[in-house]
Amino acid sequence: MADLKPLAPHLIGGNFLLHETDTQNVFTPEELSSDLRQMAETAGKFMEKEVLSQVEALEHQEPGLAVQAFKKAGQIGLLGGEVPEEYGGLGLGKVASVGVSEQLTRLGGFGVTCGAHSGIGTQPLVYFGTPEQKKKYLPRLASGEWMAAYCLSEPASGSDALAMRAKATLTSDGKSYVLNGTKMWISNAGWADLFTVFAKIDGQHVTAFLVERTTPGLSVGKEEHKLGIKTSSTRRVVLEDATVSKDQLLGEAGKGAYIAFNILNFGRFGLGAGAVGASKDLLRVAARYAGERSQFGKTIGSFGLIQQKLGHIAAKIYAAESAVYRTAAMIDAVMETGELMDSMNPAFPRGLDEFALECSIIKVACSETLDRAADETLQIHGGYGYTEEFPAARAYRDSRINRIFEGTNEINRLFIPGLLMRRSQRGRFPLMPAVAKIVKELFDLAAPEEFPDPLRSGRSLLANAKKVALFLSGAAYQKFGEKLIDQQEVLAGLSDLIIDIYLAESAVLRAQKHAGKADASGSHATLAAIAVNDAATRMENTARATLASWAEGDELKTQLGIVKRLLRWTPLNATALKRKVAQRLSEVASYPALLRA
């Protein structure tokens, strides 16, 4: 691979662990243009009129209804945002896609249909297709005339995708490939017109192929009887001597893994962005119900424990949303450089790969934020929440898949520290020099500074938390060496620490950037303070548990003392902060209104 060009520090994946980020280098939702806000509003109106008004029929899979809604979304430009203009799309970036994704996921199954199409279904062609392939398919995909699907998983290979058994054999005349195998859990399979299928040429070389639905030998199984996302189609895709011409090969023979995993980076980002939108909608539902339901002569929204739930959900959404927009803008900035990775032919944009770590963070954090929002929304509804009469039950079922989609959260937790180590070995990320510097200075490092402003204190704490993450990474590598890759519990602990740092820092940076008039209600500062306060406790507990998994005796006591000093934090009155958020929610009824000055 050719040497990569230098980028600004904040535009290097994972570099937030090594450097302090200036608030001016962080993009926030408050900076969205009026055009992008209008796009999101258009998507919201579409959802109200065409989707949510027919939710029962869609959930019971009334024939043709979901596809009809999908096509209408395409006709008004909601599916082609990231397709280049020359191929019928809008040519927009990640920042522009977030608001639309948030709206489309207000019904989980429909969000899956659109996300699987616009994301992992269409983007392999956008970034790896030939001009001829793009001209042939992208206009139809951007407009919603055709639907796309991504076929990677198999019955015997889920997380271990490269263990796939699907095979591709070149015909004797060298003009075509014959595909055989079965793909499983394929979103949109029942309705898709174009499938990106991964198979091994001669049983060895992973390669991607574009396969049309009408290809002889391609068939789909019956609809899976799923727990949730019932508006979507999920089936097996079966290939029995399905013959495709050689020009249907996508990218380069034997380089399908580059396509699969780089596209999954953006898939993970898109999933996280959608999860934030679904979480916001659930908070609206929960706050409204809490304001309407009376017990003991009062609305339940006036009760302390309900207020704690609402305030906690809002703070988690704030941190997740802040991280999503921060990451989206960084991806866009690197994409705009036009720099290409020459790992395969054709070369692909560096922006696809640069923030793989952050995309995994987004996927894990936002899917778990949505799970918490769904769980607490159901709890706030009490017995009614457990019935299908209210939206909480459906949302609870729909949310669960997100921790499995696009690589399970467990796989992503292993991926995060693993990626840092691999990039370090390749000279692409200075992990070990940073670790060595921290270890050398360890006993001289001061505890976090405390200020009257909790956000300044939070910045100081997070700066030390980064040092703790580096210290633990070095100590773990010293203990296990190359076998660290097998210590999944340790890797997951490091990952949880890194996730908390990125989410809490994103929240604090956003609140600091918009301090003053942009935060007249104080909601930004309050939500960020809750986020960093909650993270403080988790980070110390994570660090202690991770250390205890390999150290013992005096060594453990010494290292725990270092962690305790570096992560010292005087707890905020989170009870009062969450009450404040909940009380404002009772007045304004929605998350967006909560943040308006």
Active site residues: 406
Q: Mapping DSSP to helix (H, G, I), strand (E, B) and coil, where does residue 70 land?
A: helix
Q: Which of 491, 509, 488, 510 is nearest to 499 (CA)?
A: 491
E strand or H helix at 277, and its extent? helix 256-292
Q: What is the DSSP string of 452-491?
A: SSHHHHHHHHHHHHHHHHHHHHHHHHHHHGGGGGG-HHHH
Q: Is the peptide bond before 391 cis (omega within 30 degrees of 0)?
A: no
Q: Mapping DSSP to helix (H, G, I), strand (E, B) and coil, where does residue 162 land?
A: helix
Residues forming beta bridges with residue 218, ordered by sequence position: 239
Q: Would strands 167-170 and 194-201 be described as parallel, antiparallel, or unpaired?
A: parallel
Q: What is the rounded CA–CA span in Å between residue 168 and residue 178?
A: 5
Q: Is the peptide bond before 346 cis (omega within 30 degrees of 0)?
A: yes
Q: What is the rounded CA–CA span in Å between residue 543 and residue 407?
A: 25
Residues forming beta bridges with residue 212, ordered by sequence position: 194
Report the greatest alpha carbon distance in the chain. Answer: 81
Q: Find the helix packing angle between 256-292 and 391-399, rounded to 10°.
A: 160
Half-sphere exposure (CA, 13 Å, Cβ side) for 297?
0
List CB contacts of 383: < 8 A, sequence separation 6 or more.
Answer: none
CA 426 to each of CA 265, 348, 430: distance values in angstroms, whole numbers, following the listed order: 20, 19, 10
Q: Mapping DSSP to helix (H, G, I), strand (E, B) and coil, where does residue 448 land?
A: coil
Q: What is the rounded CA–CA span in Å between residue 99 and residue 41?
A: 8
Q: Which of 197, 286, 203, 200 is nearest to 250 (CA)?
A: 197
Q: What is the rounded CA–CA span in Å between residue 448 and residue 465?
A: 9
**Structure tokens that stand for 433 in this block:** 């020099």
**Structure tokens that stand for 465 in this block:** 């938390």
**Structure tokens that stand for 532 in this block:** 């960093």
Q: What is the rounded CA–CA span in Å between residue 115 and residue 78?
A: 11
Could you tell me how many residues make up the chain? 597
Tokens 């002569």 correspond to 297
Q: Find the helix packing angle between 454-480 and 488-513, rounded to 10°.
A: 160
